[in-house]
Amino acid sequence: MTVFSDVPDPEEAGDRAALRAALLSWFDTSGRDLPWRAGMEGKRDPYRVWVSEILLQQTQVARGLTYYDRFLKAFPTVQALAQAPEGDVLKAWEGCGYYARARNLHRAARQVAAQGFPDSYEGWRALPGVGPYTAAAVASLAYGEARAVNDGNVRRVLARLYAQAVPSEAWVQAQADTLLDSQRPGAWNEALMDLGATVCTPRSPRCGACPVSGHCRAFAQGRPAAYPAPKVRAAVQEVQAVAVLIGDHIRAVLERRTGSLLGGLMGLPMEVVGPGETAEQVLHRLCERLHAGRTVLLGQVSHTMTHRRITLQVYAAQAALPVQSVEDSALSRLDHKALDLYTRQQTSLFTPD
């Protein structure tokens, strides 16, 4: 058992107070300047905080800034979001991925517009798509409620402070709850997240710039990057599918998808290749459904979404069906990749009979 005789113990009240003071002092001078942080601690606009937290669940801050600005311009208030058609919401979310977030945000906005903003952690948890992390973030940042957040950055910082190789969710939450500064809970939560995002990074942490390295057991060992141990990743599921482009990259036949695979978005008519099927059989079935003929292979594209990788064979086809504006529709990145295949064609796809 390793003994850390020279490292302050975060489990001791006096050491916790010193750690809090050091981290909050650093945050007050070095915290990130982000648009949703406008306003006094505990009195921020709950709508802006909420949108940012939902958006950043699966999106890096650098990219999220652009998406956040675009979304807030489209829907500057919760009332504007609640009154918007779902298609407009998904279009404003386009490129962010994980579109269930946008659909839940839209559903929850309708509740908030009718009933008012929740003012407690439990109230936020009751909204669609709001989990423990988001509820704790909004409750602490917008209302000053003493709730500790638990995300990837917090997990990494706490795992290194305590030299915990395999921190469970329950363990991380327990440590976060213990360390939380009840006087400045919002600032404390943001300080932990900023430290993990800018200093205590997954690879090559900048320990020399860390305000709490003197409290860190992983730093005392001389191997902070060893904590936490890498998670075992689930195997990526391979999905084969076929799509047809009827029209062109500007106006095309589009369908609203259902189910877990890109559900809610518009996209090219597409079907998944099932067990025992071939792509040719699926193409034939797809064309029969659309009464389409004269297909030409445009090419193949692929896109990875967390634990699934879709490989899509794309065909141009002809059919007497109404087309829609591609620019005005919310499409997945996979569909944009498929449409790009059309723009690469140097000659006419179909010659007159």
Can you tell me which residue has the tokens 């949108």?
51
Question: Strand 293-305 and strand 308-318: pairing?
Answer: antiparallel
Helix then strand count (H, E) for the chain reads 14, 8
Sequence-ordered list of residues with C-beta below 8 angstroms from that of 85, at least 6 positions apart, any chain: none
A 10 A CB-CB count for 75 gives 22
- C-alpha span between 272 and 257 (Å, rounded): 12
Question: In angstroms, rounded to a whole number, what is the distance separating the alpha carbons of residues 84 and 329?
Answer: 14
User: Residue 36 corresponds to which tokens in the numbers above?
Assistant: 């949703």
**What phi-psi label fits residue 247: left (phi over 0), alpha (psi between -120 and 50 degrees) or beta?**
left
Cβ atoms of 315 and 297 within 8 Å: the answer is yes
| Catalytic residue, candidates 41, 53, 145, 238 | 53
39 residue type, one letter: G
User: Which DSSP letter does residue 134 get?
Assistant: H
Structural tokens at position 301: 């594209």
53 is catalytic: yes
Distances (CA, A) of 302 to 54, 125, 199: 26, 36, 34
Residues acting as catalytic residues: 53
